[in-house]
Amino acid sequence: MRTIASCRCTRRHRSSHYFARCAWPSTSVSGRGPIAILITCPDARIVLVERLRWAHTLLAELNVFGCGPACEGAHELVAIDHDTATKEQQQ
């Protein structure tokens, strides 16, 4: 699982949700938490979850059942570290 700690701007983001909206501007973001399930099938979207176990469970369901009729299996777990990005931007 890769970690993303920087987005497109220099603003301080209050939460992982706002950070994800900035890092992936053309995708819809739902949920909350520091772990993102990045779905890059034709309907790109991000689902945020709070626990790694939940993320693995949801990712397994997406890989088995698909995320929609045009699913290409392009699903990925990404850890969001917006606190590190905020600290780096302040220095």
Q: Where are the domains of the chain?
A: 2-90
**pLDDT value for 13:** 85
Beta-sheet pairing, 28-31 with 45-49: parallel
Q: Are 77 and 55 in contact (CB under 8 A)?
A: yes
**pLDDT value for 83:** 72
CA–CA dist 39, 47 (Å, integer): 8
The maximal CA–CA distance of the chain, rounded, in angstroms, is 46
pTM of the model: 0.82
- pLDDT tens per residue, the chain (91 residues)? 899 888 888 787 888 999 999 999 989 999 999 999 999 888 889 999 999 999 999 999 988 998 888 888 889 999 998 775 444 444 4
Q: Where are the beta strands (DSSP E) in the chain?
A: 2-4, 28-31, 35-39, 45-49, 75-80
**pLDDT value for 41:** 86
